[in-house]
Chain A
Amino acid sequence: MKKHLLNISILILLLICQLSIAIVFPSLKLIPDFILIYIVIRAIIFGAKDAMIYGAIGGLLQDVFLAPFIGLFTPVKTAVAFLAALLSGRFFPENLLIPPLGVFMATVVHELLYLLLKENYLFTANYFVLIKEIILPLAALNALITFFVYLVYFLWGRWDLSGQT
């Protein structure tokens, strides 16, 4: 229970960051998806079940700020969390490039799924332009953030281990 409360608090904090970042930096063109980054990293480290729960909660929180409570982010984030969990336990923690790569691909899948489910984008969107101008830069930004976050997580883990021995 304590673990769930902590993780939900982290998700709320990340949502607040996501909502406020454009207020702090008004010229920012792309808003990084902190919730997605958190969910994918959790999926890679802890597996599908854990990530899916927080994927659904993160999606619900994001949907609250887009009018209807249950919107598209809830199913999309849950599905992406499950897909990201396929990477879980298949690489060495020392490999710092896998989590950013996972987030990069998860962002592409996440945004494409969202566009395909969004009625007014489905038939009118120029997917090539959107992928080139929005989705790939956003995926790169999310991947870059993930690299530093995972690096900190990895170094913190090592420091913690060396402290114990």
Chain B
Amino acid sequence: MQKIGVIGTGSIADVHLEGWRRMPGVEIVGYYDLLPEAAARAAQRYGGRAFASLEALLAAVDVVDICTPASTHKELVLAAADASKAIICEKPLARHSADAREMVEACERAGVMLFPAQVVRFFPMYRRVKERIDAGAIGKPAVYRSARCGAFPRPGGKFSAVHYADFAQSGGVVLDVGVHDIDFARWCCGDIERVFARGLTFAGRPYQDHAQITLRFVTGAIGFIEVSWAHPRGVFRTRVEVAGDGGLIEWDSLDRPPLLVELYDEERGLQRIASSPTAPEDEPYYAELAHFIDVIEGRAQPIVTARDGLEAVRAALAAIESMRSGWPVALKEFGG
């Protein structure tokens, strides 16, 4: 039985907790949050108890699940590593490369698992893309494209919108969203050689952000990623395409869903509800957490490592630097 402690009880913690709650072999022991009432609310909803301090939580658990904003990760990971707890840490791994590196090295020294929650690797369509590439279906990957476009985030209401709008804290759309696609691109095409980006991050639009990132991989492949917090509210558009020297794989969230509901009423007119449900065990956050448990219990090799989390942060920060300077950034010598 793995005893789970959740640090930070905002909206992503809710998603994790829905998974932990129905997973066999784990027990939700409790929560720590800077806002005690938030931790208490989580305890009421998912069981376990609210801890008054980080130390108290660490003393009571085997595993910590860090669900706080990126800028707070380093301190929490270092404390958990010190206490020899296995760690799953939300993306981006850190706000700055140096912090991410320090976290990775501390966990390596302590012999502690630091698992970056790069959840896109667990989305079934992305997983299938990678599997088909590995099976040789498209030959050697040559041109990678993906997109992740939505509205400006405000999951917990105004407070979180203010957090995301604070570039110093969030790193904007390129760090917060870009690490998803950068990590997946690296999974498909390997290490990144250089990055070029254009975007809105420094355009003085506090509640709109958007970027286009151009990549060159070490293998010679090239790539393009669009990330957006400038699309209309309600839109969440994702897609991925990998062309190789022997074929092509593509998926687009605009593709027809397996279930489409059409309802009419005089007041609201036509309502269209698209749905693409999965079996509970294939739900990506559940699959990610279950894989993490399999890894720490020795049943699986991790499909993503702390180093991958660090490299995704580095490439995202290089894209931000490119937007700032107007020049391509070589990743090898980039400190971030």
- Binding partners A and B: no
B residues sitting closer than 8 Å to A (CB atoms) are none
A residues sitting closer than 8 Å to B (CB atoms) are none
